[in-house]
Amino acid sequence: MQISNNNKREGGQRAVNGSRVTTFLTEGGGFLLIMLLPALLVLGFVIGLPMLKALILSFDTINFRRPAAAGTFGLHNYEKLIFDAQVWHAVWRSALYMAGTVAGSIVLALSAALLTRRIVHFRALARLAFLIPWTVPAVVTALVWGVMYEGNFGVINRLLDPLPFFDRTDWLIDRDTALPALILAQVWNEFPVAYIFFLAGLHSIPEELYEAARIDRASAFNQFRYITLPQLSSITAVIVILLMIMGFKSFPIIFILTGGGPAGATETMTVLTYNTAFRKLDFSYAATLGILAVFISLAMVLVYLRVMKRAERGVDGAV
Amino acid sequence: MARPVGNSTGTEILRVCALVLLGMIVLFPVYWMAMIALTPTGFSRSLSGIVPEQITFENFIILFTERPMLRWMGNSIFVAAASSFLSLAFGASCGYALSRIKFRGSGLVLILVLATQMMPATSIVVPLYILFRDFGLLDTMQGMVLGHISLVAPLAIWMSKGFFDSIPADLEGAARIDGCSRLSAYWHVTLPLALPGLAAIFIYGFVTSWHDFLFAKTLINSQSLWTAATGISSFRGEYFTLHELQMAAALVFALPVIIVFLIMQRRIVSGALAGSVR
């Protein structure tokens, strides 16, 4: 600090006025400003401004089908939202979708992680194999599963055909199977995230716990029940909330495979927002739906932050 | 690590078998995509087994000669490179400030950045569409890049903050004692050190933009400006869907990312663990 003060003084002798500005810019609050401002301006333009516009839109009546109504300001979109059964069905479907993807991903990821941990050979290869679906873009996931689910020639129907009591189904067109079919595609695409976390979590469990259990002749199941599961609890909480957020955001898989159909059976919040804006051209109502979605995801982010903090305290070094 | 529980070779074999089975099920969709892509056009319908009867590359040739796949991929590369570079150019210094300087509101900035990364993109895209319509940015590459910055910039800030956290501040301290200003310590000392990490963040941002479907679908109309994601998804909507062509396009689109991932596996995985969501 002493030396830097000397420097400042030397600089001051050279150019009295210029140096104070320069010092402010390179050392003090000005430095913070230089570092933060560009990014904050950019974020303000690409995220802040749209959010503000969404708020304005939600009070306006911008519907390209009824251009004359533009400029009618009021709370009508929010009033409509509260009593709109379609919206609350979409929220419910998003919840189902999230629950399905969380449950499916956790079962798949945990079994894969437990198996990967206990083998000695090919561990790196196994890890790589289970991570590959994660690198597949959601658009491609949708296309591939779309081809596999196809009713007449799809490979899933062909593989399941020999099973007794199985009738060929058009998975994405049948009302009862469409949502589970989408969930399966999403699970396939996102379970590797849970897998990575579970591997890290398993890695951080002290081996002494298992050694002690073996001395006490605890069965493999009891070791899992009383050591592995409790030790994984905080990381599981992180995984659950992370997968919930990812499931809530999910758009390409649902949109490309069903577009919300058949007859709205797979219309989640994101797809409903998109359809309201770009199919019904009711941008004001879509913006209102978008704001509802932001509040739902904000709630999840707050839970995520809390859970993350606990996990960092608990499993030190795992995440 | 020593063998933990099952010390016998028997359990090891059993576990490897279970793992191979699970791995085969998990990788089946990727295998199937490649398989159909290599089947002659129209023949995937008559496949009886799950192994190819005849291998051909004609689907890829059709894709690049009769469809504007090359153009779409060029657009994707341009948008991804530009948005990722700009996000990093602005985001890295912000991440550095968040990592090194304790100031009032830094926690709030971090939470806001995280929240924007975690909310559904549909919430942004609806007002963005109206804004871009007013600014004349719809159906332009500039608009597309701006849209993707809203996806990539929060990620760049959050990840570079995590990365700067892992670089010890001692070196900067030494540079400061030698008379460096904070700005030049950042520019000449920390930034060069951080370059490998920033490169990884660049790739992560590139892939995020490459994968995007929603922005490309809504902000761009003309077919010549489509990105690869919108281009390949359009094959599904065609009246007579050609599975072989569709899978060839999907493979061409997915393969670069898979290869990059295989090369950079460790770094990307640790980056993902640092708290980022796609």
The string of pLDDT tens digits covering residues A242-274 is 999 999 999 999 999 998 878 889 999 999 999
Across the range A76-91, mean pLDDT stands at: 91
> Using CA atoms, how far apart are residues A127 and A196, in angstroms rounded to an integer?
9
Give per-residue pLDDT as tens, B247-260: 999 999 998 888 88
Give per-residue pLDDT as tens, B137-151: 998 999 999 999 999
Q: Give pLDDT, residue B252.
A: 92
Across the range A174-191, mean pLDDT stands at: 93
User: Do B111 and A290 lie within an 8 Å CB cutoff?
Assistant: no
Please, which residues have CB within 8 angstroms of residue A302's CB and are 6 or more apart in sequence? none
pLDDT score of A119 more than 60: yes
CA distance readout (Å), A124 to A120, A310, B118: 10, 30, 30
Least confident of A239-253, B18-32, B225-239: B225-239
Least confident of A212-221, A291-300, B6-15, B225-234: B6-15
User: Do B126 and A207 lie within an 8 Å CB cutoff?
Assistant: no
Chain A residues close to B204, C-beta within 8 Å: none
Reported as a pLDDT band with limits 50, 70 and 90, residue A314 is: low
Chain B residues close to A133, C-beta within 8 Å: 26-27, 29-30
Provide, rounded to the nearest whole percent, the portion of chain B with pLDDT above 90.
31
Report residue A265 as tokens.
């059976």
Chain A residues close to B256, C-beta within 8 Å: none
User: Do A43 and B103 lie within an 8 Å CB cutoff?
Assistant: no
pLDDT score of A16 more than 80: no
> Using CA atoms, how far apart are residues A166 and A160, in angstroms rounded to an integer?
7
Hey, is the C-beta of A152 within 8 angstroms of any chain B C-beta? yes
pLDDT score of B201 more than 70: yes
Query: What is chain B's mean pLDDT, rounded?
Result: 84
Across the range A214-234, mean pLDDT stands at: 88
Please, which residues have CB within 8 angstroms of residue A290's CB and are 6 or more apart in sequence? A54, A273, B120, B122, B123, B124, B126, B127
Give helix B9-37 / helix A138-149 axis angle, nearest 10°. Answer: 90
A273 → chain B, closest CA residue:
B122
Q: Give pLDDT, residue B152.
A: 93
pLDDT score of A13 more than 70: no
Reported as a pLDDT band with limits 50, 70 and 90, residue A31 is: confident
Q: Please say whether the beta carbons of A46 and B86 come within 8 A.
A: no
| CB atoms closer than 10 angstroms to residue A268 | 31
Hey, is the C-beta of A21 within 8 angstroms of any chain B C-beta? no
User: Do B103 and A291 lie within an 8 Å CB cutoff?
Assistant: no
Q: Give pLDDT, residue A21.
A: 62
CATH of span B68-273? 1.10.3720.10
> Using CA atoms, how far apart are residues A57 and A290, in angstroms rounded to an integer?
11
Chain B residues close to A131, C-beta within 8 Å: 261, 265, 269
User: Do A196 and B257 lie within an 8 Å CB cutoff?
Assistant: no
User: If you classify domain A76-314 with CATH, what class do you get?
Assistant: mainly alpha
Who wins on pLDDT, B146 or B271?
B146
Report residue B263 as tokens.
């090369």
Reported as a pLDDT band with limits 50, 70 and 90, residue B193 is: confident
Chain A residues close to B177, C-beta within 8 Å: 3-4
Least confident of A144-148, A152-156, B85-89: A152-156
Domain ranges in chain A are 2-59, 76-314
User: Do B16 and A39 lie within an 8 Å CB cutoff?
Assistant: no
Q: Give pLDDT, residue A10.
A: 46
CB pairs below 8 Å between A and B: how many?
295
* Identity of the amino acid at A171: W
pLDDT score of A12 more than 80: no
Q: Give pLDDT, residue B7.
A: 56
| CB atoms closer than 10 angstroms to residue A296 | 19
- Residue B122 has its nearest CB partner, among A36, A145, A293, at A293
User: Do B154 and A131 lie within an 8 Å CB cutoff?
Assistant: no
Report residue B82 as tokens.
């530009």
Is the confidence metric ipTM above 0.90 for this complex? no
Q: Give pLDDT, residue A53.
A: 92
Who wins on pLDDT, B171 or A104?
A104
> Using CA atoms, how far apart are residues A258 and B242, in angstroms rounded to an integer?
18
pLDDT score of B275 more than 50: no
pLDDT score of B277 more than 70: no
- Residue B181 has its nearest CB partner, among A26, A39, A207, at A26
Q: Please say whether the beta carbons of A228 and A205 come within 8 A.
A: yes
Chain A residues close to B51, C-beta within 8 Å: none
Q: Give pLDDT, residue A17.
A: 54
Chain B residues close to A36, C-beta within 8 Å: 93-94, 97, 109
CA–CA–CA angle A271, A273, A274 (5° rounding): 65
For residue A63, the cross-strand partners are: A282
Report residue B210 as tokens.
């490459």
Q: Give pLDDT, residue B3.
A: 44
Least confident of A10-19, A112-121, B263-272: A10-19
R_g of chain B computed on alpha carbons: 23
- Residue A50 has its nearest CB partner, among B114, B127, B278, at B127
Most confident of the following: A105-114, A259-268, B163-172: A105-114
pLDDT score of A208 more than 60: yes
Domain ranges in chain B are 9-56, 68-273
pLDDT score of A4 more than 90: no
Q: Give pLDDT, residue B238.
A: 65
> Using CA atoms, how far apart are residues A293 and A269, in angstroms rounded to an integer?
7
Please, which residues have CB within 8 angstroms of residue B10's CB and are 6 or more apart in sequence? none
CA distance readout (Å), B140 to A59, B20, B82, B145, B152: 29, 47, 14, 9, 19
User: Do B273 and A53 lie within an 8 Å CB cutoff?
Assistant: no
Q: Please say whether the beta carbons of A147 and B247 come within 8 A.
A: yes
Q: Please say whether the beta carbons of A77 and B184 come within 8 A.
A: no
Reported as a pLDDT band with limits 50, 70 and 90, residue A2 is: very low
Provide, rounded to the nearest whole percent, the portion of chain B with pLDDT above 70.
90
- Residue B229 has its nearest CB partner, among A137, A245, A270, at A137
Q: Give pLDDT, residue B169.
A: 81
Reported as a pLDDT band with limits 50, 70 and 90, residue B271 is: low
Distance from the A176 Cα atom to the nearest Cα atom in chain B, whole angstroms: 22
- CA A29, A32, A36, A38: dihedral to nearest 10 degrees? 70
Nearest to B274, CA basis, from A172, A274, A242: A242
Q: Please say whether the beta carbons of A269 and A296 come within 8 A.
A: yes
B-proximal residues of A, 260-289, CB under 8 Å: 269-270, 273-274, 277-278, 283, 286-287
User: Do B262 and A7 lie within an 8 Å CB cutoff?
Assistant: no
Across the range B176-180, mean pLDDT stands at: 81
User: Do A287 and B126 lie within an 8 Å CB cutoff?
Assistant: yes
| Alpha carbon of residue B276 to chain centroid | 12
Hey, is the C-beta of A104 within 8 angstroms of any chain B C-beta? no
Distance from the A164 Cα atom to the nearest Cα atom in chain B, whole angstroms: 19
Buried residues in B256-265 as b, exposed as e (16+ CB within 10 A) = bbbebbeeee
Chain B interface mutation, best of A134, A143, A241, highest count of B Cβ atoms under 10 Å: A143
Report residue B115 as tokens.
């929240």
> Using CA atoms, how far apart are residues B93 and B187, in angstroms rounded to an integer?
9
pLDDT score of A15 more than 60: no
Q: Please say whether the beta carbons of B128 and B64 come within 8 A.
A: no
pTM given for the model: 0.87
Across the range A109-129, mean pLDDT stands at: 85
Buried residues in B127-162 as b, exposed as e (16+ CB within 10 A) = bbbbbbeeeebbebeebbbbbbbbbbbbbbbbbbbb
Across the range B156-183, mean pLDDT stands at: 84
Give helix B69-100 / helix B228-237 axis angle, nearest 10°. Answer: 130
Q: Give pLDDT, residue A22.
A: 63
- CA B79, B80, B83, B89: dihedral to nearest 10 degrees? -140
| Alpha carbon of residue A187 to chain centroid | 12
Least confident of A230-239, B43-52, B97-106: B43-52
Chain B interface mutation, best of A6, A24, A43, highest count of B Cβ atoms under 10 Å: A43
Q: Give pLDDT, residue A163.
A: 80
DSSP H helices, B101-168, are 106-118, 121-135, 141-165
Give per-residue pLDDT as tens, B64-107: 888 888 999 999 999 999 999 999 999 999 999 888 888 888 88
